[in-house]
Amino acid sequence: MRDESMWSTTSGAVSRRLFLAGTGSILAGAALAGKAAAAPAAIPDGATVSALVIGTGYGGSVAALRLAEAGVDVHMVEMGMAWDTPGPDGKIFANTTSPDQRSFWLRTKTKQPLSNFLGFPIDKDIPRYTGILDAEEFSGITVYQGRGVGGGSLVNGGMAVTPKRENFGAILPTVNADEMYNTYYPRANAGLGVATVRPAWFDTTDAYQYARVGRKQAQRSGFPFVFVPDVYDWNYMEQEAAGTVPKSALAGEILYGNNYGKKSLQKTYLPRIAATGRVTISPLHRVTQAVPASGGYAVTIEQLTTAGAVSAIKTVTAAKVFFAAGSVGTSKLLVKLKATGALPNLNGEVGKGWGDNGNVMCGRANHIWDPTGSLQSSIPCGGIDNWAAGGAFAEVAPLPTGIETWASFYLSITKNPNRAQFTWNPTTRAVELNWQTAWKQPSIDMAKTIFDKINATEGTIYRTDLFGVYKIWGDHLTYHPLGGAVLGKATDNYGRLAGYPGLYAIDGSLIPGNTSVNPFVTITALAERNIEKIIATDF
């Protein structure tokens, strides 16, 4: 029997599984606190829906919840799995230190962000499966993304950061900052369950020794160390440390899902969506096409097997379609649909303005008297802020290997100005991104404003064994894709796609490349703002 509590909301026991089309029983659904039962099967071929939401991450979840609350019936399409059923080990999600088929999206070998340890490659063979983390490779950059109901919230570190207000004008120049900081950021923070580590516990727990070393060294070099809020249930983490509950953050769970304490969308927006009784979800369904049709748009959807094969092709008609497939997913769809003549009137801004949020990683080697601890909470809780002076905000990140590494590890978000464009290649019939490896150099330079100084103060050096053989910088990837359907350019100022009434972008694709901090709070807040306007004026 599955552990239902893992799916419970904080207020009650609403099982998410009940409303996932194709996985729940209609009788169980009817018992859902008196709410209407969810549809018993995946979306049928030929269905007609009022609102179709492509993707179940932050933008898609906000759109679905608010539409349903306003009385609109919604169907959500998600290419990844439901992630509601335990594997043979009794757990739904695999551990970061022992990846298996659940860990990666349709790969036969893992592609871990840290590819090496002590210089040795650590990737390993796995069965090809519709796993949770996609390492999508474009020329010059690998873009990591979550796959499944809950999108990136399933795999991310949960760092839930509202940008400093003085930086907002550069992030979303056409959006009223007063409205965002008075209404939509607070709404997003409340909806996501954002909270901060208890400082007294932080100061004493073994699990954050690595972060205390990070704080001490930052401060000795004159940089402010700031506590960073997270959606992890901090009380639960304290219980993990006390040994009274099953361990999650303190068992190193993060990249491939988190079995207990993290409040992913599975524990916040998605149970509220289920409780409306107006939303159904088709996991393992991928949207490939949308064309104008009588009654709105005809949307083509491929049903997938867990081996990634297409088992059925369906066409549904939707009065309104919300693209919430993430920055990369939405951009790829829109660029393809414009270029192939399905939606030729999308404007020339589609595919442009894509950035990596300036992500770059590095490690530093500490002295033997500065151990970072063999027990490291996988949930980061602090950062080093040098944005104004050096263009970098660095998360003090864990290296949850279970052994003492004497390493400090950081993911920096930098003010990298480079922006790439998605384009359609008619020969390969694929969407390409023209990011170039060299475009990370500004990020490295900005991160060095922090770490060169810390190394000089501490008499330490960079680690060279984490990203390859003698390679200091993890400059080949991003966790934070942003842009491709930029607000006010590819869309109007609320995400309405130019050229097609009833089509909207409502995810990270709207944000032009950088948020100065981790992005999902801004993605959620912007979606809350936009959907409020869209419901008021378009329905």
Whether 395 is a known active-site residue: answer: yes
Q: Which of 24, 29, 59, 484 binds ligand FAE (CB under 6 A)?
A: 59
Residues 155-174 that bind ligand FAE (CB under 6 A): 155-159
Residues 487-526 that bind ligand FAE (CB under 6 A): 507-508, 518-520, 523
* Identity of the residue, 28 or 500, whose beta carbon is nearer to ligand FAE in the bound complex: 500
Q: Which of 152, 214, 383, 495 binds ligand FAE (CB under 6 A)?
A: 152
Two structure tokens written together for 88:
């043979």
Nearest by Cα to 280 from 5, 31, 4, 49: 49
Residue 461 CB, nearest approach to ligand FAE (Å):
27
Which residue type, as a one-letter code, is found at position 310? V
* Identity of the residue, 32 or 211, whose beta carbon is nearer to ligand FAE in the bound complex: 211
Residues 268-327 that bind ligand FAE (CB under 6 A): 286-287, 324-327
79 binds ligand FAE (CB under 6 A): yes
Residue 59 CB, nearest approach to ligand FAE (Å):
4
Nearest by Cα to 447 from 399, 409, 405, 406: 409
Q: Which of 9, 17, 78, 260 binds ligand FAE (CB under 6 A)?
A: 78
Two structure tokens written together for 281:
């979800």
* Identity of the residue, 38 or 482, whose beta carbon is nearer to ligand FAE in the bound complex: 482
Q: Which stretch binds ligand FAE (CB under 6 A): 14-22, 57-65, 314-322, 358-366?
A: 57-65
* Identity of the residue, 32 or 133, whose beta carbon is nearer to ligand FAE in the bound complex: 133
Instruction: Please list, in sequence order, all residues whose beta carbon lies within 8 angstroms of the beta carbon of residue 332, skipping any fewer than 6 positions away.
Output: 325, 422, 431
* Identity of the residue, 32 or 197, whose beta carbon is nearer to ligand FAE in the bound complex: 197
* Identity of the residue, 62 or 375, whose beta carbon is nearer to ligand FAE in the bound complex: 62
Residue 108 carries which DSSP code?
S
Instruction: Label residues 518-533 b or e (16+ Cβ within 10 Å = b).
Output: bbbbbbbbbbbbbbbe
User: What ranges in 303-420 are assigned the alpha helix state H?
Assistant: 326-339, 387-390
Residue 490 CB, nearest approach to ligand FAE (Å):
15
Residue 40 CB, nearest approach to ligand FAE (Å):
21
Two structure tokens written together for 390:
């050096």
Residue 375 CB, nearest approach to ligand FAE (Å):
20
Reported as half-sphere exposure (CB side, CA atoms, 13 A), residue 489 has a value of 17
Residue 104 CB, nearest approach to ligand FAE (Å):
12
- Rounded Cα distance, 390 and 25, in Å: 55
Other beta carbons within 10 angstroms of residue 161's beta carbon come to 22
261 binds ligand FAE (CB under 6 A): no
* Identity of the residue, 39 or 511, whose beta carbon is nearer to ligand FAE in the bound complex: 511
* Identity of the residue, 323 or 406, whose beta carbon is nearer to ligand FAE in the bound complex: 323
Instruction: Please list, in sequence order, all residues whose beta carbon lies within 8 angstroms of the beta carbon of residue 492, skipping any fewer than 6 positions away.
Output: 498
* Category of 205 on φ-ψ map: left (φ > 0), alpha (ψ -120 to 50) or beta: beta
Q: Which of 255, 375, 454, 505 binds ligand FAE (CB under 6 A)?
A: 255
SS3 369: coil
Among candidate residues 78, 240, 302, 395, the one labeled active-site is 395
* Identity of the residue, 32 or 411, whose beta carbon is nearer to ligand FAE in the bound complex: 411
- Rounded Cα distance, 45 and 128, in Å: 27
Residue 384 CB, nearest approach to ligand FAE (Å):
15
Q: Which stretch binds ligand FAE (CB under 6 A): 51-59, 201-209, 270-278, 396-404?
A: 51-59
Asked whether 255 and 113 are in contact (CB, 8 A), the reply is yes
One-character DSSP codes across 463-512:
--BSSSTTB--B-SEES--B-SS-TTTTB-TTSBBTT-TTEEE-SGGGS-
Q: Which of 480, 489, 496, 529 binds ligand FAE (CB under 6 A)?
A: 480
Q: Which of 29, 131, 151, 363 binds ligand FAE (CB under 6 A)?
A: 151
Among candidate residues 75, 253, 480, 532, the one labeled active-site is 480
410 binds ligand FAE (CB under 6 A): no
Asked whether 52 and 60 are in contact (CB, 8 A), the reply is no
Residue 275 CB, nearest approach to ligand FAE (Å):
21
- Rounded Cα distance, 134 and 142, in Å: 9
Distances in whole angstroms, Cα of residue 483 to Cα of each of 145, 259, 376, 504, 538: 14, 30, 33, 14, 24
Q: Which stretch binds ligand FAE (CB under 6 A): 22-30, 53-61, 114-122, 207-215?
A: 53-61
Residue 437 carries which DSSP code?
G
Question: Which residues are known catalytic residues?
Answer: 395, 480
Residue numbers at the binding site for ligand FAE (CB under 6 A): 54-59, 77-80, 144-148, 151-153, 155-159, 255, 286-287, 324-327, 329, 333, 479-480, 507-508, 518-520, 523
